[in-house]
Amino acid sequence: MADLSGERVSSTAAVSSPTRKAAVDSSCPLPPPDYSLNPTKSPDLTDYSVKPTKPPDLRDYSVNPTKSPDLANRSINPTKSETCPPNGQKKSAEGRKKKSTVYSSPLPPCKICGGKASGLHYGVNTCEACKGFFRRAIKYQRKYQCFRKQRCDVVGERSVRTSCPFCRLQKCLDMGMAHSAIKTGRYTHAKRTENIMEVKRLEINPNNLNGGEHAQDTGSSFSSNSNSNSCGSCIMTFNSSKNSLYDEDRFFSDCSTNKHVIESVMHKFAECREQEEVFASQGDGDFCDNHVSGHINSSILHPGGDVRNLSGRIKRGPYTDDAKIIPYEKKIPYAEENSHIGGGFNAKAGVGSYWSNTLTDSGWTFHQVETTKPSMENPFFGSLKPSDGTAGTKEVAVNQPRNSNNPSNDIRHDRYISQQNDHGLSADFRTHQWKLPQQSDGNQQQSHPMSFQPRSYTPYESFSQFHMHSQFQHHPSQQKQQQQQYHHQPNDHTPCYNYPKPLHLIPQFAVPEPNNSSGMPIYPEVNNGKFLSYQPGKFLSSSESLTSTDQTLLPIKIEPLDSRDKFENSPDIPGSIYQEEDNVEGVCISIFSPTLFQDVNVSEIDALEEAAGFENIPCKSCIQNAVKDSNDILFALDNITAAPSFSSSSVSSLVPVIYIDKSQTDVVEDTLVSPLVPAIYIDKSQTDVVEDTLVSPLVPAIYIDKSQTDVVEDTLVSPLVPVIYTDKSQTDVVEEVESCDLFSTSFISNSTSLRVSPTSAVGTSNLPISPSRSLSPSVASSPSPSLLASVTQKHKSGFFEEKKLPHAIPSSVSPQISSNSKINPLLISHEIQVPQIYYDRNAFLLTASESDVEDQDSKASTSVTCLKNGQIKSKEVPFGSSLDDNLFQGIVGIIEAAYHKYTLTMFDKNPDLLYKWQLTYLKQHKARCETFGLQTEFITDDDYEEIFKRTGLDIDNRREQISIIHRGTTKFFQDLSRFALEVPGFDKLHPGDMVELIYGSYVELWFLRSFSGVNSDLSVLIMPMGKPYTKSELAWVMSKEFADIVFEQAPSFKLLTLNSTIMALWKTVVLLASDRGSLKEPSRVCQLQQFYLDLLKHYTRHVWPGDPGLLTRLVDATIRLRDVGYHSKAPRSFTTTALKRDILEVVKARGLDSVSGDTLSEPSYVQLENSHNIKDGSLE
């Protein structure tokens, strides 16, 4: 139990000091039985017991020679019952005899630093040094500041343990040291230990058996005190085992389905990369932390101190809320000597990167992977992606001499001079000047007149004040100051930096820097609404150290040369030290410039460039990309509830993420682990429980943290399987993507709110037909008496002459109809002009029949029953003979009314709005993909079910989506069926043919309804109603071929000039395709189709003459439509028979409704059923 931590400690020690371990092993092959209580600690014990065999320790203690005899004496002296494994069996045997003393005598190493413990101090077994340190910290109320990630290693020799007092104190507290824990009394060592263990266990979590002896003292008073120091840096720094991160090839082989996505992103990175290196202060702008040197003040300070204080004002981001602590022993060992990992991001470009430097036989090797742009779920880090197509790695020569003679051949990763930006400028961080590109004629490199200024930033505080700052930036006086101080007007020969749109800072990364003169904050990146490129950090002289006022500055600190070690010799580690001619040694740690390109109008830039005489400025593309990315960032910002810390929200699709929670500091540290070992370490803050498990590459593991707060921390894992973070921390953090459902909901509600206004009441009430959900065929078939009278009246006075076509009809509506109508959200959501009256179908047909020919037995006809002159009359209305205007308009009216009634309308939203929705949904989907690591729709159902079984999570809402899709599809079929039944003549067809026609045409009709919502560029489809789809989702629901052809064909369809009348007619024609499979009476269908084709022809030629070639193109489109239909199959989760049965249900219901309805109902289905004796289920 408790040995978990001990093992972790010892393994860490072993890793960091292999020689030591070897010595131990050789001298003491067998661990003494005395340590069976805690066998894993034997390596630690050897730290002080086997001094002569440990060169490192010798070196350590050489400073204090007196210690050696003492150590030797203590460890060898049997009278003190010091039993140490290396001292041989004799001592072990002796220890065995006196068990009580055996347990009490060999003190474990210092819990804090691993050194020689001298007893219990403040409740924890520590050395004298740590004891004194803690005592002083308490006594003098010391406030420390961690300049790294608050995970500094404090185990080691003096220089190590003193490198970060903050972390040391933190560890003391973590280990349970408490000032109040004064003498616990006189115990034997074993008893005391046992006692303490028990007390702590009871204190913390009775259920937690893992709360070992090292369990933290809750020590709340101290914790809270010390936490005022918790504003430490969030610099991302981790070490990992060598190369563990970068097995992308392996990953890709596992994620081939996602490869094209990755590749496209990679391509994007390639573009962003330049830009990134232009605008970022230097190079990759990595965050870095050199834990060895220990004083790289790249701290990102939180001005407000304890970030927990912000919780009331700022909600943390999705992954930062359930802060927990992972005990030191259980942390990922990050102190490996041959590996160093850092990370950074470019907020502007929206990419982050992780890099590592690994010491190999051939020297240091630099690897870098970059992440996707932020998403809503991963606001500042997306998935890890290869940076430049080189399999995610970038080889950089290190430890190479600078080639001063030929800089272009300097293969060092030079951090003094940035790579050229798009203007050909390089940033020289020594002179704080821009360097013009070296002239081809060999002239000396010239400097740009614009100097650098120190940059400052804050990750946190200004987030909540983002908008305020944004406004502030544009205050005239502020602009002036900025201009004076920062803005150097480019001369005619200066590449243009002046882009007119105001740019905003990402507040997390930009902080106002006090202006010396006014005390007003300065935003270097924003200058009078002009973009000035980035401002790098500043140098401190070697005698300087960061002051409190410097804490918000981006530090570039000088380190004494002698403090560097071989890590620092790697030029690719930000924070590494370089010695320059002038003996200035600099360490540069950069933060990306957070300039946001918002609302940049590229055309304006074009015009500006043109006016300035600059053509083809490559920066244009950068800006275009940046604009895009900025939008995404803003989108993310809009959708997250808090400013995530730098280190948060690193969700990788390539490698699992380890969330190391720091509850007391509210800092969540993420570390990457190998994709091969998707272990997730979820810590149980005060309970010292670590649940780490390896997970199947196919199935995610869910680690649920049951710490006292019922926080559920799920983390996942495999690159193949999405992760779901269902953090239910006390603060209601919403971290999911807006679901499709939500989207649809807001979509609808927005539309409703838009349309249902007082003035639009008519618009909502003048629905052609009451949108009753009953299966009544139509309102017209059962009108109220007054309505009937009204219709009859109109009929008598020239019904059709008055009404014309629907869109030509005046807005006066029968009040009875209006009052009968309910608001139909489906219709409301469309801006299609709804016909302002509906056509009484029966009234029309009666009229038409009076003035038209009869005796068309061989032709399609429809039966009309109507109340006329107090009598119920029936009449057959034939089709196909003449196109009387009345007939035409009447039938068109009927069809169009049904078309609207059953919401088969196409999507003709405002294109801008439509695009916005498309983009929004695409972002949501991409965010999901990035979080999940792949397009989750490609997870097989079996795998998905397994995931669901194991996690209980509907990770991509598939289950929900299925129900949505099911509902939507069902409704679509219902509406389609009802629409078909409203088509005059359709109900006279053979019922089996009706079903076949409906079923056979549904895909094409679906397409006709949907194509206007297709954005082939974005591969997004917004449905007029219901769920949006991405192409891949559509492929999942239908088929890939279908999705392909839909997105391929939609653009051409969008070129057609259509109105709802044409659409209604066209759909009718499509519906009545006589070549559907297994039609019983294809000739009748063909006849009916011909009739409607004639109507369509008539309409396009005479009523809609604006587009003469429309009919031809419609026919052509219809043919292509068949292609769409050809590639379709039953939607997911549907079967053909089930669908047909549903259709038949509607058909039947219509008939039954007619029968059971009042006498005005159409008996068409009954008649048909009687004549054909169709039985229920005959289609199956």
Our CB check for DNA shows the closer of 217 and 277 to be 217
CB of 920 to DNA, least distance (A): 53
Which of the choices DNA, Zn ion, none does residue 45 contact, using the CB cut-off of 5 to 8 A by kind? none
CB of 340 to DNA, least distance (A): 24
Q: Cβ neighbours of residue 69 under 8 Å, at least 6 residues apart?
A: none
Number of residues near DNA (by CB under 7 A): 40
Residue among 328, 147, 324 nearest 230 (CA): 147
1174 lies in the site for Zn ion, by CB under 5 A? no
135 lies in the site for DNA, by CB under 7 A? yes
Structure tokens at 547: 């002051």
CB of 114 to DNA, least distance (A): 12
Secondary structure (DSSP) of 1059-1097: -HHHHHHHHHHHHT-TTSTT-S-HHHHHHHHHHHHHHHH
- Select from 161-169, 619-627, 720-728, 1149-1157 the region that touches DNA (CB under 7 A): 161-169
Q: Residues 524, 513: contact at Cβ < 8 Å?
A: yes
Q: Residues 423, 293: contact at Cβ < 8 Å?
A: no
| 3-state SS class at 598 | coil
| 3-state SS class at 680 | strand
Of the candidate residues 3, 25, 70, 876, the single one contacting DNA (CB under 7 A) = 70
CA distances to 105, 353, 719, 895 from 120, rounded to whole Å, are 12, 44, 46, 90
CA distances to 91, 416, 443, 537, 957 from 437, rounded to whole Å, are 73, 15, 10, 22, 53
| 3-state SS class at 433 | strand
How large is the C-alpha radius of gyration of the chain? 38
- Select from 48-56, 62-70, 338-346, 1047-1055 the region that touches DNA (CB under 7 A): 62-70
Of the candidate residues 13, 102, 112, 278, the single one contacting Zn ion (CB under 5 A) = 112
- Select from 16-24, 137-145, 854-862, 1020-1028 the region that touches DNA (CB under 7 A): 137-145
Taken in order 963, 967, 970, 973, the sign of the CA dihedral is: negative
235 lies in the site for Zn ion, by CB under 5 A? no
58 lies in the site for DNA, by CB under 7 A? no
CB of 91 to DNA, least distance (A): 18
573 lies in the site for Zn ion, by CB under 5 A? no
Our CB check for DNA shows the closer of 106 and 343 to be 106
Adjacent-strand bridge partners of 878: 861
Ranges within 166-205 binding DNA (CB under 7 A): 168, 179, 181-189, 192
Of the candidate residues 140, 401, 819, 940, the single one contacting DNA (CB under 7 A) = 140
Backbone phi and psi for residue 1120, each to the nearest 5 degrees, phi listed first: -65, -30
The structure tokens 């289950």 sit at: 959
Q: Residues 595, 622: contact at Cβ < 8 Å?
A: no
Please state, in angstroms and rounded to a whole number, the distance separating the CA atoms of residues 281 and 594: 10
77 lies in the site for DNA, by CB under 7 A? no
Which of the choices Zn ion, DNA, none does residue 112 contact, using the CB cut-off of 5 to 8 A by kind? Zn ion
| 3-state SS class at 1124 | helix
Of the candidate residues 9, 129, 236, 826, the single one contacting DNA (CB under 7 A) = 129
CB of 35 to DNA, least distance (A): 18
Q: Using CB under 7 A as the criterion, what x/- string covers residues 98-127 for binding DNA?
A: ------x----------x---xxxxx---x
Which of the choices Zn ion, DNA, none does residue 152 contact, using the CB cut-off of 5 to 8 A by kind? Zn ion
Our CB check for Zn ion shows the closer of 68 and 257 to be 68
Please state, in angstroms and rounded to a whole number, the distance separating the CA atoms of residues 74 and 128: 15
Straight-line distance from the first to the last Cα atom of the chain, in angstroms, rounded to the nearest whole number: 63
Residue among 859, 826, 807, 930 nearest 370 (CA): 930
Which of the choices DNA, Zn ion, none does residue 405 contact, using the CB cut-off of 5 to 8 A by kind? none
Our CB check for DNA shows the closer of 168 and 273 to be 168
CA distances to 855, 980, 999, 1019, 1050 from 1008, rounded to whole Å, are 35, 15, 15, 17, 9
Q: Residues 1167, 863: contact at Cβ < 8 Å?
A: yes
CB of 135 to DNA, least distance (A): 5
CB of 109 to DNA, least distance (A): 12
CB of 168 to DNA, least distance (A): 7
Our CB check for DNA shows the closer of 126 and 836 to be 126
Beta-sheet pairing, 555-556 with 538-539: parallel
Ranges within 167-226 binding Zn ion (CB under 5 A): 167
95 lies in the site for DNA, by CB under 7 A? no
CB of 182 to DNA, least distance (A): 4
Length of the chain: 1180
Q: Residues 888, 830: contact at Cβ < 8 Å?
A: no
Our CB check for DNA shows the closer of 77 and 360 to be 77
Which of the choices DNA, Zn ion, none does residue 596 contact, using the CB cut-off of 5 to 8 A by kind? none
Our CB check for DNA shows the closer of 161 and 448 to be 161
155 lies in the site for DNA, by CB under 7 A? no
Our CB check for DNA shows the closer of 112 and 532 to be 112
Our CB check for Zn ion shows the closer of 295 and 1076 to be 295
234 lies in the site for Zn ion, by CB under 5 A? no
73 lies in the site for DNA, by CB under 7 A? no
Please state, in angstroms and rounded to a whole number, the distance separating the CA atoms of residues 75 and 92: 12
Please state, in angstroms and rounded to a whole number, the distance separating the CA atoms of residues 1117 and 746: 33
CB of 94 to DNA, least distance (A): 17
Please state, in angstroms and rounded to a whole number, the distance separating the CA atoms of residues 234 and 146: 9
Please state, in angstroms and rounded to a whole number, the distance separating the CA atoms of residues 575 and 578: 9
Which of the choices Zn ion, DNA, none does residue 136 contact, using the CB cut-off of 5 to 8 A by kind? DNA
Please state, in angstroms and rounded to a whole number, the distance separating the CA atoms of residues 274 and 280: 10
Taken in order 327, 332, 337, 340, the sign of the CA dihedral is: negative
CB of 113 to Zn ion, least distance (A): 3
477 lies in the site for DNA, by CB under 7 A? no
Q: Residues 842, 781: contact at Cβ < 8 Å?
A: yes
Which amino acid belongs to residue 607?
A: A
Our CB check for Zn ion shows the closer of 127 and 934 to be 127
Ranges within 113-172 binding Zn ion (CB under 5 A): 113, 115, 126-127, 130, 146, 148, 152, 164, 166-167
Q: Residues 1028, 743: contact at Cβ < 8 Å?
A: yes
65 lies in the site for DNA, by CB under 7 A? no
867 lies in the site for Zn ion, by CB under 5 A? no
668 lies in the site for Zn ion, by CB under 5 A? no
Our CB check for DNA shows the closer of 34 and 736 to be 34
Our CB check for DNA shows the closer of 100 and 749 to be 100
Residue among 1013, 997, 1005, 945 nearest 972 (CA): 1005
Which of the choices Zn ion, DNA, none does residue 493 contact, using the CB cut-off of 5 to 8 A by kind? none
740 lies in the site for Zn ion, by CB under 5 A? no
Our CB check for DNA shows the closer of 66 and 543 to be 66
Residue among 927, 925, 923 nearest 381 (CA): 927
* Residue 1133: other Cβ atoms inside 10 A: 14
- Select from 107-115, 529-537, 554-562, 979-987 the region that touches Zn ion (CB under 5 A): 107-115
- Select from 157-165, 593-601, 731-739, 1124-1132 the region that touches DNA (CB under 7 A): 157-165
Q: Cβ neighbours of residue 469 under 8 Å, at least 6 residues apart?
A: 462, 505, 507, 510, 512, 521, 523
214 lies in the site for DNA, by CB under 7 A? no
Residues found near Zn ion in the complex (CB under 5 A): 110, 112-113, 115, 126-127, 130, 146, 148, 152, 164, 166-167
Residues found near DNA in the complex (CB under 7 A): 64, 66-67, 70, 104, 115, 119-123, 127-133, 135-137, 139-140, 142, 158, 161-162, 165, 168, 179, 181-189, 192
